[in-house]
Amino acid sequence: MKAILTKTTGLTDRPFHYCPGCTHGIIHRLIGELLEEMNLIEKTIGVAPVGCSGFCEHYFSCDMIGAAHGRAVAVATGAKRARPDRFIFTYQGDGDGASIGLAETMSAAARGERITSIFVNNCIYGMTGGQMAPTSLIGQKTSTSPYGRDAETMGYPLDLPKVLTQIEGAVYVASVSVDSPQAIKEAKKVLRKAFQVQLDGLGYSFVSILSTCPTNWGVNPVEALEWLQTKMKPHFALGELKVPVVRGGNES
Amino acid sequence: MKNLVKINTERCKSCGLCVHACPKKILGIGEFANNKGYYVIEMKDQSKCIACAFCALICPDLVLEVYREEKGA
Amino acid sequence: MRQGMALLMKGNEAIAEAAIQAGCRLFYGYPITPSTEIPEYMAKKMKAVGGTYLQAESEVAAIYMVFGAGAVGERVMTGTSSPGFSLMQEGLSYLFAAEIPCVIVDVMRGGPGLGGLGPTQADYFQLTKGGGHGDYHAIVIAPSSVQEMVNLTKEAFDLADYYRNLVIIAVDGILGQMMEPVEFPPSEGRKLEPKTWAANGAEGRPKNNVISYYLTPELGEVENKRWGDKMSLIKENEQHFVEYEMDDADYAFVAFGTSARITETAVDMLREEGIKVGLYRPVTLWPFPEKGLLARVNQIKGWMSIELSAGQMVEDVKLVINGQAPVSFYGRQGGMTPEPEEVVAAFKAQLLGGAQV
């Protein structure tokens, strides 16, 4: 029989602790598969955030470093400058990358750091129990915006990938989602390109992935996909928002 | 069997995403609970499976592996 | 620059040169007075030796870049001054828990707040008790001359690697800025184990995780005990101090860094008057060199801590002396430094005039 989709060596055997239907697991698998397919596992150092995916050091088969909240991109910068021959990615949630870590994300982009950031945006802070995130939508009820996010006092959701397209050192910026098998296939293609941009030494690559949080949105996993499709997608720019002038390698 | 979907029942969390994603609607939540207490998914009719792997694509927990029967040379 | 040649160098630059000679090829920092010469020297010199100088966006970012480079097993340094050191405190706690070797320089200036640019020693509590959270310690080294800054910076990298612990070189702003003749003698260094724990790419070996959390309180206690044992080992082996005129002393000053140099003159002045006084100079602030103090506790009738602060180290002196003799204090703040005459006067008033506990 021909294997169509089997377990990747890019992930360990440890069962994921994530909530049922949480899309972190899908994204982990895409990364693991790419590390395996692109022969990167032994050369990779991943940097984990603080958040639900703060334990992902145990899920990827490559060497991993656990960073402080928001500092994964700084840690990755330090590691990459120390070992430019290694493939280094950060994996961060919306708080880690766009709130407490916003300065580090944007500064690394400005410097054109040869690292790849994977930004998992579910419009909420999951690990700490469902507080408002910088990406939370106007009117969205969270535990710290119990009456709904009010633009007057709490500002507007931040579309970080859109902002990063303005930074010269950020040479590949994409925004995808994992709400359907088709979207997942597209997300993997985009991640592969982002990885290749790093391998080609072109600059900072950033992939934002719209994701679900059924538990804190208060819906079941299938409803969460719909919430993502109908409520989130209209508010965030989607697609390959910026590509390098010199295309990043082939798609073998 | 034409194609095969292997199910790692201990990893299943009964989230239902694969049931939703399957275009042939041949996956369902079963009546068997695994060690974590989740009612795991089951294949209702493997003969209808087209090995599209949509189920394995959308599964967040590495529960599913999909194999396609090799056509004759 | 050949080893074995004497040069007139500024303290900050000497530290940077010593780091490079110790094999450090990575420096991440942010400018802040009075430590800016460190990143500037690194920016110029690293290129020549094939190293990397990277200016971080803040001290917060800098300490985490240090974390990343150290986690992949490379020698790495950052340098800053008091407000920047405050920004790094969370990072220090993380560096300790993840057991990442690194060297951090704190050139202390006036505080609190934005403060002033003059020299102080008022980061002592932060340095030794931890401005970061949790039960942790950095090894803290306090040179008091540019030559010591060279020797001890070189050693700092070995210490950091040997114990897998962060090491901080703590000087006041005067030492950072002063110029003294300095040599770079070749040194043997410690025998060090390869960094098999580093997360530098799992080539031909099982993967490594460099993390700083634990999943259960039970594990948390086990980890903390293990770190505590490491601290006990360091306390046992790495207390360093220098004594000046202590052998026949009736009284003793305790001072480090620039205040030690000033106090040495005060000792000479008092000795000229026939008063038998000595200076006990800690070279490590953590571990605090209790051994030497305890060895003299039956001999010394009164101690006086001289600091550029409101009196921080004096608390550690009191803890060690434990009521067996009076311990007093004299200091200046805000960047001011005492004249030796002031130290003499304070000594006479407090320890000779009327005993203070």
pLDDT value of residue C305: 98
Query: Does C74 lie at the interface with A, CB-CB under 8 angstroms?
Result: yes
Nearest CA in chain A to C203: A42
Q: Do A81 and C208 touch (CB under 8 A)?
A: no
pLDDT value of residue A245: 84
Contacts of C350 (CB under 8 A, 6+ apart): C304, C328, C330, C356
Nearest CA-CA partner of C335 in C249, C222, C258, C232: C258
Mean per-residue pLDDT, B46-62 = 97
Query: Does A7 lie at the interface with B, CB-CB under 8 angstroms?
Result: yes
Residue B73 pLDDT grade (very low, low, confident, very high; cuts 50, 70, 90):
very low
State how far residue B59 is from chain A, nearest Cα, in angstroms: 7
Least confident piece of the model among A184-188, B1-5, C267-271, C345-349: B1-5
**What burial letters (b/e) apply to C49-71, b meaning 16+ CB within 10 Å?**
eebbbbbbbbbbbbbbbbbbbbb
Query: Does C306 lie at the interface with A, CB-CB under 8 angstroms?
Result: no
pLDDT reading at C306 higher than 90: yes
Q: In the 8-state DSSP scheme, what is residue C128?
A: I
Q: Do C72 and A64 touch (CB under 8 A)?
A: no
CB atoms near residue A36 (< 10 Å):
16
pLDDT value of residue C65: 98
Amino acid letter, B63: V
Q: Do A66 and C203 touch (CB under 8 A)?
A: no
CB atoms near residue C14 (< 10 Å):
30
Mean pLDDT value across chain C: 96
- Which residue of A44, A58, A104 is in closest CB contact with C61? A104
Q: Which residues in chain A are contacts of C52 at CB distance < 8 A?
A: 81-82
pLDDT reading at A248 higher than 60: no
Contacts of A87 (CB under 8 A, 6+ apart): A40, A43, A44, A45, A116, A195, A198, A199
Q: In the 8-state DSSP scheme, what is residue A52?
A: G
Neighboring chains of B (3 or more beta-carbon pairs < 8 A) = A
Nearest CA-CA partner of B7 in B24, B26, C143, B23: B26
Mean per-residue pLDDT, C98-118 = 97
The complex scores an ipTM of 0.95
Residue A252 pLDDT grade (very low, low, confident, very high; cuts 50, 70, 90):
very low
pLDDT reading at C357 higher than 50: no
pLDDT value of residue C354: 53
State how far residue A103 is from chain C, nearest Cα, in angstroms: 8
C5 three-class SS: coil
Give me C272's structure tokens.
């000229």
The proportion of chain C whose per-residue pLDDT surpasses 70, expressed as a percent, equals 97
**How many CA atoms are closer than 13 Å to the CA of B36, on its beta-carbon side?**
15
Residue C355 pLDDT grade (very low, low, confident, very high; cuts 50, 70, 90):
very low
Contacts of A166 (CB under 8 A, 6+ apart): none
What gap in Å lies between CA A207 and CA A33, rounded to an integer?
Answer: 16
Q: Which residues in chain A are contacts of C212 at CB distance < 8 A?
A: 66, 68
Q: Do A75 and C94 touch (CB under 8 A)?
A: no
Answer yes or no: are the C-beta atoms of A35 and A61 closer than 8 Å: yes
Q: Is the dihedral of CA C339, C340, C341, C346 positive or negative?
A: positive
Q: Do A25 and B62 touch (CB under 8 A)?
A: yes
Nearest CA-CA partner of A77 in C134, C153, C196, C78: C78
- Outline where C238-349 has alpha helix (H): 257-272, 290-295, 313-321, 340-347
> pTM of the entire structure?
0.95
pLDDT tens digits along C181-240: 999 988 889 999 999 999 999 999 999 999 999 999 999 999 999 999 999 999 999 999
The proportion of chain A whose per-residue pLDDT surpasses 90, expressed as a percent, equals 96
Instruction: Examine chains A and B and say if they touch (3+ CB pairs below 8 A).
Output: yes
pLDDT value of residue B1: 52
Q: Do B16 and A3 touch (CB under 8 A)?
A: no
Nearest CA-CA partner of C195 in A236, A83, A66, A24: A83
Q: Which residues in chain B are contacts of A23 at CB distance < 8 A?
A: 60
Query: Does A2 lie at the interface with B, CB-CB under 8 angstroms?
Result: yes
Task: Tell me whether residue C264 is exposed, middle or buried, using C-beta atoms within 10 angstroms of its C-beta: 0 to 12, 13 to 18, 19 or more.
Answer: buried
Query: Does A97 lie at the interface with B, CB-CB under 8 angstroms?
Result: no
The proportion of chain A whose per-residue pLDDT surpasses 70, expressed as a percent, equals 97
Q: Per DSSP, what are the bridge partners of residue B52?
A: none
pLDDT value of residue C353: 81
Query: Does C167 lie at the interface with A, CB-CB under 8 angstroms?
Result: no
Q: Do C210 and A66 touch (CB under 8 A)?
A: yes
pLDDT reading at A250 higher than 90: no
- Beta-strand pair A87-93/A44-48: parallel
Mean per-residue pLDDT, B46-72 = 94
The residue ranges of DSSP E strands in C122-269, in sequence order, are 139-141, 166-172, 179-182, 209-210, 241-244, 251-254
Query: Does A9 lie at the interface with B, CB-CB under 8 angstroms?
Result: no
Mean per-residue pLDDT, B51-72 = 94
Q: Which residues in chain A are contacts of B51 at CB distance < 8 A?
A: 4
Instruction: Examine chains C and B and say if they touch (3+ CB pairs below 8 A).
Output: no
Give me C343's structure tokens.
């130290």
Q: Which residues in chain C are contacts of A75 at CB distance < 8 A?
A: 64-65, 67-68, 71
Q: Which residues in chain C are contacts of A115 at CB distance < 8 A?
A: none
Q: Which residues in chain B are contacts of A1 at CB distance < 8 A?
A: 3-4, 67-70
Q: What is the DSSP string of A64-95?
A: EEEPPTT-HHHHHHHHHHH-TTSEEEEEEEHH
Mutation pick from B57, B68, B71 vs chain A, by most beta carbons of A within 10 Å, is B57
Mean per-residue pLDDT, B21-39 = 97
Neighboring chains of A (3 or more beta-carbon pairs < 8 A) = B, C
pLDDT value of residue B72: 62
B46 three-class SS: helix
pLDDT value of residue C43: 97
Q: Do B67 and A4 touch (CB under 8 A)?
A: yes
- Which residue of A5, A6, A21 is in closest CB contact with B57? A5
Q: Do C68 and A76 touch (CB under 8 A)?
A: yes
Task: Report the length, in residues, of chain A.
Answer: 252
- Which residue of B61, B64, B67 is in closest CB contact with A3? B67
Mean per-residue pLDDT, A66-92 = 98
Mean pLDDT value across chain A: 96
What's the Cα-to-Cα distance from C297 to each of C276, C289, C327, rounded to whole Å?
Answer: 15, 13, 11
pLDDT reading at C155 higher than 90: yes
pLDDT reading at C2 higher than 90: no
Mutation pick from B20, B58, B70 vs chain A, by most beta carbons of A within 10 Å, is B58
Nearest CA in chain C to A80: C69
pLDDT tens digits along A133-150: 999 999 999 999 999 999
Residue A249 pLDDT grade (very low, low, confident, very high; cuts 50, 70, 90):
low
Query: Does A29 lie at the interface with B, CB-CB under 8 angstroms?
Result: yes
pLDDT value of residue C4: 61
